[in-house]
Every structure is written in C-alpha cells, then in structure tokens.
C-alpha cells in the first residue's frame, strides 16, 4: 500500500519526532510511505490538495485530535473521489489524544504500526458545526473559554498541565453568559453545552456510551453552571463515567441543535482546538463518513 503520513510538528511541542520516526520505519519495511512534516495548517492543506493525484491508500495523521479533525475537513473541502477501502490512521502525538482511547490504541510502536497497516477499520460518523465537521466533540461556552485562552507556546512547554491551570483560573472567575439552545420547538437557556460524538472527554475520561462509530451524538446542556455543580460533574465523570445521574444536566440525542448568543459571540472548541467565537451556531448530524483504522 501507499501511505501519506502528515506529522504536525507543533503537536506536543514537537517532542514526538523520534516516536513518529520509529513508526515510520516499521511501516516502511513493507509499504511505501511519503512523510510530510508540517508547521502550519496551510502547509498541511497544500499536501492534502495533491492527495488524490498521488493515489494514496492511507492517510496517516500524526498529531493531536485537532490535527485529525483538520485533515478530515480538508478532504471534505476537496471533494475527492476516494476508493471504498481508503482509510485514515491516527498516530497519537498530541496533548490529550482522546482519539487514541476511542480507537483502543496503545503507545506501543509495533501495535500502532500493525493497526495502521491492517484492514481493521470502521466508518466514523461525523457531526457538522456550521460549515465544518468534528469527529469527537464540540464545547459551546465554558470549556471553550479554557481552550481558547491557552497560548500555543505555553501548551508546547507545559502540555496537559496548562489545561489544569487555565481550567482552575476559569473555575475561580466563572462568569457565564446565557446561550439560547433551540431543540425542535423548545428553547432552553444554558451556560454551557457539550455535544459529544465520543465516549471520552478531557483526556481518557469516559462520559457516555456514545462513540465515534455510532450514528448519533449526545448533547449535554448545563442550564445553571455553578462552581459546586461543576465539582459534582467532575465527580460523576471520575466515579461513574457518565453525566446522566445529574438532574441538573439535560441529556438529549437529536439530529440538530441551534445556538444563539443573544447578542454576544459564543466561544466554541471542536476536538480540543479553538473554533473561534460565533453569534449563531448550528450543530447537526452529517452524512459524511470516513473509514478510520482502529485497534483489533
């Protein structure tokens, strides 16, 4: 098979280069691999533009969860006519690596290489947010404030620690603005909404039974987010791996949700990356699907 391996050198501060090279060596023993090391989204975009003419069988993305999300959105934008057995492989080289847990992958080089060269894949169901797609989750409000406040330089140096620091800062200075959440004909006013296409959140912490190969996504609506309630939610995730036990959280499985910032821009994160601020947002099920390689 012919592989295209795109390595986002900015992920995890570039500390995974040796790890990536070891996986590359394992795959190269039996397959043709073109390695592209990128430092910006524009570089990765140019590589993916030429993807189809190079007749690649696999796209391997080495980086964080957001790197995979970006690559998928670029494939959709270019509207390639990909072969039926084309698949995307993930090499966990980011900070949180939620997709690693979702796919059941370890950090063992041989295990990863065997997964990436296998035919063990399934179709992941993407979720659309405005004109983009995400594979794992979208946070609207509180957690997006944390993600969007993180300096990329500090993230390189501190890794996961910076999320804890910024999370504690936002916990102390909690100042939420109401978001109008519209589901069917009902309007709910909330402080924070989490749309999850993934079983995991904030690292390898289980929050629901939904997973990326389900044809649905789960939405948690936090109507009145207070400090003591947030601590309770953290407890539920840590102990039970599920938020459904909380009576103050509305849990729904619907195909479309609309958000209105009521005159304010709403901070949004998708797959752990800054998605900017938007006054209006629509999140909906998508017909876009991709084969994603997963551990046997």
Q: What would the pLDDT profile of 118-148 be if each residue is shown by its tens digit? A: 999 999 999 999 999 999 999 999 899 888 8
Q: Which of 38, 48, 98, 36 is nearest to 73 (CA)?
A: 48
Would the pLDDT of 152 be above 80?
Answer: no
pLDDT, tens digit (0-9, with 9 covering 90-100), for 166-178:
777 777 778 888 9
pLDDT score for 157: 61
Domain 132-286 architecture: Sandwich (2.60)
Q: Which of 290, 124, 104 is nearest to 217 (CA)?
A: 124
Instruction: Enumerate the domain spans of the chain.
Output: 2-119, 132-286
pLDDT, average across residues 137-162: 78
Which pTM value belongs to this model? 0.90
% pLDDT > 70, the chain: 95
Would the pLDDT of 40 be above 60?
Answer: yes
**Does the domain spanning 2-119 belong to CATH 3.40.50.10330?**
yes
Query: Is residue 51 very low, low, confident or very high in pLDDT (cuts 50, 70, 90)?
Result: confident
pLDDT score for 212: 94
Query: Are the beta carbons of 190 and 179 closer than 8 angstroms?
Result: yes
Query: Are the beta carbons of 292 and 122 closer than 8 angstroms?
Result: yes
What's the farthest any 2 CA atoms get from each other in the chain?
A: 57
pLDDT score for 94: 82
Three-state SS at 119: coil
CA distances from 30 to 3, 25, 58, 204 (A): 11, 10, 14, 32
The residues near 89 (Cβ < 8 Å, ≥ 6 apart) are: 58, 59, 60, 61, 115, 116, 292, 293
Structure tokens at 220: 């948690």
pLDDT, tens digit (0-9, with 9 covering 90-100), for 86-115:
999 999 988 789 999 999 999 899 999 999
- Phi, psi angle pair for 225, to nearest 5°: -85, 110
Would the pLDDT of 153 be above 90?
Answer: no
CA distances from 31 to 16, 22, 97, 193, 295 (A): 22, 14, 26, 44, 19
pLDDT, tens digit (0-9, with 9 covering 90-100), for 234-282:
899 888 888 888 888 999 999 999 999 999 999 999 999 999 999 999 9
Three-state SS at 38: strand
Would the pLDDT of 35 be above 90?
Answer: yes
pLDDT score for 95: 78
Query: What per-residue string of b and e applies to 239-259 under the rule 16 or more CB within 10 Å gives b?
Result: eeeebeebeebbebeeeebeb
pLDDT score for 161: 67
Three-state SS at 94: coil
pLDDT, tens digit (0-9, with 9 covering 90-100), for 192-241:
999 999 999 987 889 888 899 998 999 999 998 999 998 999 899 888 88
| C-alpha–C-alpha distance, residues 34 and 213, integer Å | 28
Q: Which of 253, 275, 257 is nearest to 266 (CA)?
A: 275
pLDDT score for 294: 96
Query: Are the beta carbons of 204 and 136 closer than 8 angstroms?
Result: no
pLDDT score for 128: 97
């Amino acid at each position: 098979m012919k592989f295209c391996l795109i390595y986002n050198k900015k992920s995890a501060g570039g500390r995974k280069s040796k790890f990536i090279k070891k996986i590359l060596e394992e795959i190269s023993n039996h397959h043709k691999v073109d390695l592209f090391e990128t430092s910006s989204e524009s570089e990765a975009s140019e590589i993916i533009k030429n993807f189809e003419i190079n007749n690649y069988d696999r796209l391997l993305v080495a980086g964080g969860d957001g790197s995979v999300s970006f690559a998928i959105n670029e494939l959709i934008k270019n509207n390639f006519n990909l072969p039926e057995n084309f698949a995307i492989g993930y090499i966990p080289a980011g900070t949180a690596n939620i997709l690693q847990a979702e796919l059941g992958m370890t950090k063992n080089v041989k295990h990863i290489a065997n997964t990436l060269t296998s035919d063990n894949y399934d179709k992941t169901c993407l979720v659309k947010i405005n004109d983009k797609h995400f594979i794992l989750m979208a946070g609207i409000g509180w957690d997006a404030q944390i993600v969007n406040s993180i300096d990329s330089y500090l993230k390189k140096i501190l890794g996961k620690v910076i999320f804890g620091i910024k999370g504690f800062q936002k916990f102390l200075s909690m100042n939420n603005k109401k978001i109008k959440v519209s589901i069917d004909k009902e309007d709910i006013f909330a402080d924070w909404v989490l749309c999850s296409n993934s079983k995991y959140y904030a690292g390898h912490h289980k929050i629901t039974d939904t997973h990326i190969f389900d044809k649905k996504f789960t939405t948690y609506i936090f109507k009145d987010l207070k400090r003591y309630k947030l601590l309770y939610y953290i407890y539920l995730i840590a102990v039970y791996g599920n938020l459904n036990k909380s009576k103050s959280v509305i849990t729904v499985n619907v195909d479309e949700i609309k958000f209105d910032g009521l005159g304010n821009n709403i901070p949004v994160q998708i797959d752990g990356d800054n998605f900017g601020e938007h006054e209006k947002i629509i999140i909906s099920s998508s017909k876009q699907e991709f084969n994603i390689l997963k551990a046997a």
